[in-house]
Amino acid sequence: MALVVKKFGGSSVASTDKILNVANRVLNDKHPDDQVVVVVSAMGDTTDDLISLAQGIDDQPYKSSYSREMDMLLTTGEQVSIALLAMAFQKLGQPAISLTGSQIGMHTSSNHTKGRILSIDPARVIHELDKGKIVVAAGFQGIDKHGDPVTLGRGGSDTSAVALAGALKADSCEIFTDVDGIYSADPRIVKGARKMREITYYEMLEMARLGAGVMQPRSVEVGQHFNIPIHVRSTFTDTPGTIIREDYTMEEQGFIIRGVAHDEKVAKFAILGVPNQPGVAHKVFAALSDANIDVDMIVQSIRNVEQDITDIIFTVEQNYVAEAKAVIEGVAQKLRALGVEIDEDVAKVSIVGAGMLGAPGVAAKMFGALAREKVNIEIISTSEISISCLIKADRLRAAVNAIHNEFFPID
Ligand code: ADP
Ligand code: ASP
Ligand code: MG
């Protein structure tokens, strides 16, 4: 007997036909004694549609004052898909029950729209499995100490599934999606992207953090925490996908870079002409932190030698531009800055790979590919295993392809 957790993303359950297809597939793969938990996302673009609905009330629905109501709204998406999938199983003769985030015991922090899982008490899940039912669990949602629904950030069903697999000590965790594995770049952007058989948690986490939306970054961290291999594979074919695990078991570790990631949901802020004094950067970033706004790339540069003023430039997630603007304009006024500029037409392209540690020339190779494509770099940032460049959004596709061709030449 095995206990298996399978997660199906929005495109896999986009219609009732697809929901029936998922139910059939799960039953075909199920051995008689298996206990099965299926985690699902909302149908198709439901979450985006719900956000658009909220924009009909206010075009900035991600303001922190709305975040509780946003969660109340967004959690409805998964409630629809779990009910339909449980009905699909029953129609096929398989006892099944749908459970919300609260019913699976998914306890989260109270920071709405960006909740963190604090603990899972899967007693109800185990009880239903022991009765011979398939449990269909809502992804993306949990409940806080006040009993309010909280969502886990976009793409959060991946994290629900991996965390549930950890809490249940499941024998396997499969993430079914509309691609048949993890590729060296988003296959929608790079035609020649290469499928990987394996990738480490470390590298996948960096790819995901830098925009590879196939897995939510937090889900990879949770997988690493529980040391659960995560199998990312296609809903629509039987081909083996990619295993995310602690270390390589095959020869794949030879690559200098594993992949190219990109992120379009970025906005650049520049606070121009602030005093070049201790404590100024602290004032700016403390104000953003107090407003719960994550900052990504940061650059501070001296304007010119005559004046003792600097520009502070940084990026934030596009959803938080309105909130960040209000915070930054307040700080800029207090610091008597010369002005604030905001550019939403930017994007970030990154290369990722543990092999670049100690390998000279990797950055030069990336910048060379961008130079030949005449893509201007606005900000560069690095981590131990990645290099990122902020560029104009309309050059993103060309940039991703140029960098990919440089590191993974077509043979
Ligand atoms: P789901 O709805 O199943 O959660 P997502 O849309 O969240 O699916 O994630 C799957 C998508 O991730 C793919 O369609 C693909 O375009 C995108 N993606 C981005 N980077 C990669 C990558 N490196 N490898 C595979 N897919 C990627
Ligand atoms: N439905 C949620 C979203 O669109 C969660 C998920 O798909 O993982 O972000
Ligand atoms: Mg997803």
Q: Cβ neighbours of residue 142 under 8 Å, at least 6 residues apart?
A: 101, 102, 106, 107, 108, 115, 117, 149, 150, 152, 160
Does any ligand 1 atom lie closer than 6 A to the CB of residue 259? yes
Q: Are 48 and 18 in contact (CB under 8 A)?
A: no
Identify which of 41, 10, 25 has the alpha carbon closest to the alpha carbon of residue 138: 41
Residues measured by CB to lie within 5 Å of ligand 3, the ion: 9, 155
Looking at the DSSP bridge assignments, the partners of residue 200 are 245
> Strand, coil or helix: what is 278?
coil
135-182 pLDDT tens trace: 999 999 999 999 999 999 999 999 999 999 999 999 999 999 999 999
* Ligand sitting nearest the alpha carbon of 50: 2
Ligand of minimum distance to the alpha carbon of 178: 1
Ligand 1 lined by 9 (C-beta under 6 Å): yes
Distance from C-alpha of 261 to C-alpha of 217, rounded to nearest angstrom = 13
Q: Are 264 and 396 in contact (CB under 8 A)?
A: yes
Can you tell me which atom of ligand 2 is nearest the CA of 158?
8
Q: Judge whether 320 and 62 are in contact, CB under 8 Å.
A: yes
| H helix or E strand, kind and range, residue 157 | helix 157-167
- 407 CB within 6 A, ligand 1: no
Residues enclosing ligand 2, CB less than 6 A? 9-10, 41-42, 47, 77, 139-140, 154-158
Q: Which residue has the tokens 């946003």?
A: 70
**Number of C-beta neighbours around residue 357 at 10 A:** 10
At 205, the amino acid letter reads: L
pLDDT in tens, the chain (411 residues): 899 999 999 999 999 999 999 999 999 999 999 999 999 999 999 999 999 999 999 998 988 899 999 999 999 999 999 999 999 999 999 999 999 999 999 999 999 999 999 999 999 999 999 999 999 999 999 999 999 999 999 999 999 999 999 999 999 999 999 999 999 999 999 999 999 999 999 999 999 999 999 999 999 999 999 999 999 999 999 999 999 999 988 766 567 899 999 999 999 999 999 999 999 999 999 999 999 899 999 999 877 777 789 999 999 999 899 999 999 999 999 999 999 999 999 999 999 999 898 888 999 999 999 999 999 999 999 999 999 999 999 999 999 999 999 999 987
Is 183 near ligand 1, meaning CB less than 6 Å away?
Answer: yes
Ligand nearest to the CA of 196: 1
**Domain 260-407 fold:** VC0802-like (3.30.2130)
Residue 252 confidence (pLDDT): 64
Residue 397 near residue 366 (C-beta atoms within 8 A)? no
Q: How far is the CA of 279 from the centre of ligand 1 (A)?
A: 41
Cα of 397 to ligand 2 centre, how many Å? 24
- In CATH, 3-178 is 1.10.3720.10: no
- Ligand 1 pocket test target in 177, 180, 237, 396 with most atoms within 8 Å of CB: 177
What DSSP line would sit under 166-227, residue for residue? HHTT-SEEEEEESSSS-BSS-TTT-TT--B-SEEEHHHHHHHHHTT-TTS-HHHHHHHHHHT
pLDDT at 185: 98
Q: Please state the domain extents for the chain.
A: 3-178, 260-407
Would the CB of 127 count as within 6 Å of ligand 1? no
- Write the CB contacts of 111 (distance below 8 Å, at least 6 apart in sequence): 67, 150, 292
13 lines ligand 1 (CB under 6 A): no
In which region does residue 105 sit, left (phi positive, over 0), alpha (psi from -120 to 50) or beta (all else)?
Answer: left
